[in-house]
Amino acid sequence: SINYDQIKEAASYHPKPQNITYTYGTAGFRMRADLLDSVIFRVGILAVLRSKKLDSKTIGIMITASHNPEQDNGVKLVDPYGEMLEQSWENYATQLANAQTEDELVDVIKQIISSNNIDESKTANIVYARDTRPSGPALVSALVDGLKSLNAKIIDFGIKTTPQLHYVTRCYNVKGTEDDYGEPTEEGYYKKLSTAYRKTVEGKQRLTPINIDAANGVGAPKMRELNQYIGNEYLESILINDDYKTQGKLNYQCGADFVKTGQKLPTGSNIKPGDRAASFDGDADRIVYYYIDEENTFKLLDGDKIAGLAGGFIIDLVKTAGLEGIDVGVVQTAYANGSSTTYLEKVLNVPVSCVPTGVKHLHHEAEKYDIGVYFEANGHGTVLFSKKALKTIRSAEGQTAEQKEAIEKLRALTDLINQTVGDALSDLLLVETILTNRQWSLKQWDQAYTDLPNRLVKVIVENRHIFKTTDAERKLLEPVGLQEQINELVSKYKNGRSFVRPSGTEDVVRVYAEAATREECDELAYKVAGLVY
Ligand code: NG1
Ligand code: ZN
């Protein structure tokens, strides 16, 4: 069982800095790496308690700060099936991180144990990974000190993408059961995805090369590796911004967040009209596509476009396969472009739910459908197949050749798609599969609908916590009266929509606006920002 002196001794090497309050937010802890040593040590402790609480199930820990600048880092816990840490435990993370002294730390640990009836004698199993950030190794050693202070059984999964860590965590926990998810190894991941990909494109004409901006992050070596398993005859990719070894380059003027936010090409890209391109973010859990048209205009195919593409393809397959009992739904956030929602509801005729920002909200909502497609506009998303859907797809036989083929494709998709979390590599293969099957260019895909001009601005305010939202963050409850002022502004614009919410990852308030034209949209965004400021 637990040796508290051992914990105190280990903790004394990882003291909490004075005058700082940590918060476990939508993306775990995330900030300048030099402030994270004590936090990571304590996250190790929390993971051990979580594993003990869940009967020794393996808990995952990912050290990354995604698309943030290179000097930042972060950490988050992954629950046994690859989901984000259960929300009620986020508080414990925050309490552990903020315990000032070793004695306080021990008190918090004891409280967590007693309020959850944790059996101290249970073994704790942990798997961890990190991205390519230079601060990674030092933070890993703080983590290991935390894990060892509670005698956990530890697996070092090395440098990986965030979705690979989610994948392996699930694999460990369901191995040999009816929910088996594949081999709990990096190789198992590549084999599963590549085999499924080859099945879905077999016999189809290969598309032109896909230019991939890997944000100079971990996605670069991992995409290379994956492509070797797939084979060039099935997928031709050209990597740029693949220098993950030179300091200062990670996410710098490149990557999915840079492209989506700036609505422009990443540094180093020299694509021409007709070329196909995509960007990953720094830990390869987001992807956006783009091209330039004949007029040399930059055209973005973001998470909303991917949701439309994937939703449409899956609905067609389900219909063709004759699996009428399976319902398909799409989950979005308030940041989804209004045109995408209209397209999904009116053209594809799928139910669309809107939930608050943050993957855990999207994920849980998507679980309510037999097949739930969820994407954030920024390119983070995936598709979930319920147990019922999996069973139906696996056991269906089909009468005609057409039905059989559709069933085979659906089956392959359940392996191709990383259902634990949004995954740039897996999502790239999903998009490539659909475009190959449809023989569509990016322009043809883009023609489904035209995005309404939109603008996202950050406003720095004295205290963002006074902003309280409702209706999936689309309306403000507080400060009282502000929503009425926003409504009045919005009503003056054709196709106008705007909302205000406090960020969960940065100390800012975000203002989003869309309207019929670029000028009107920008004007609306700045006027609403003016109300907030
Ligand atoms: P916040 O900072 O709460 O807006 C941002 C993204 C989310 C999500 C999280 C986690 C936008 C507008 N917000 O959240 O979509 O990705 O970070 O990384 O893109
Ligand atoms: Zn990311």
Predicted confidence at residue 25, as pLDDT, reads 86
Domains of the chain with bracketed CATH: 4-159 (3.40.120.10), 188-301 (3.40.120.10), 303-414+442-446 (3.40.120), 454-532 (3.30.310.50)
pLDDT band at 1 (very low <50, low <70, confident <90, very high): confident
pLDDT digits (tens, 9 = 90+) for 275-302: 999 999 999 999 999 999 999 999 999 9
Q: Which residues are catalytic?
A: 66
Q: Which residue's CA is the nearest one to ligand 1's atom 12?
A: 335
Ligand 1 pocket test, candidate residues 261, 505, 507, 510, most atoms within 8 A of CB:
505
Mean pLDDT, all residues of the chain: 97
Distance from residue 505's CA to the centre of ligand 1 (Å):
7
Q: Which residue's CA is the nearest one to ligand 1's atom 9?
A: 358
Distance from residue 483's CA to the centre of ligand 2 (Å):
32
Say which ligand is closest to the CA of 336.
1
Predicted confidence at residue 227, as pLDDT, reads 98
Question: Is the pLDDT score of 26 beyond 90?
Answer: no
Cα dihedral angle (267, 273, 277, 279), rounded to 10 degrees?
40
Cβ(197)–Cβ(433) below 8 Å: yes
Ligand 1 pocket test, candidate residues 23, 26, 361, most atoms within 8 A of CB:
26
Distance CA 255, CA 15 (A): 35
Buried b (16+ CB within 10 A) or exposed e, 42-54: bbbbbbbbbbbbb
Question: Is the pLDDT score of 533 beyond 90?
Answer: no
Distance from residue 161's CA to the centre of ligand 2 (Å):
9
- The answer to whether ipTM exceeds 0.90 is yes
| Cα distances (angstroms) measured from residue 89 to each of 79, 92, 260, 403, 477 | 11, 5, 32, 45, 27
Closest approach atom of ligand 1 to CA 502: 3
- From the list 24, 508, 360, the residue with the least C-alpha distance to 500 is 508
pLDDT digits (tens, 9 = 90+) for 408-448: 999 999 999 999 999 999 999 999 999 999 999 999 999 99
Amino acid type, 431: V
Strands 371-375 and 298-301: unpaired
pLDDT digits (tens, 9 = 90+) for 115-132: 999 999 999 999 999 999
Ligand 1 pocket test, candidate residues 503, 506, 508, most atoms within 8 A of CB:
503
pLDDT digits (tens, 9 = 90+) for 497-519: 999 999 988 889 999 999 999 99
Predicted confidence at residue 507, as pLDDT, reads 86
Question: Is the pLDDT score of 28 beyond 90?
Answer: yes
3-state helix, strand, coil in the chain (%, to 5): 40, 20, 40
Token pair of 302, please?
């973001």
Task: Report residues near ion ligand 2: CB below 5 Å.
Answer: 66, 281, 283, 285
pLDDT digits (tens, 9 = 90+) for 151-170: 999 999 999 999 999 999 99
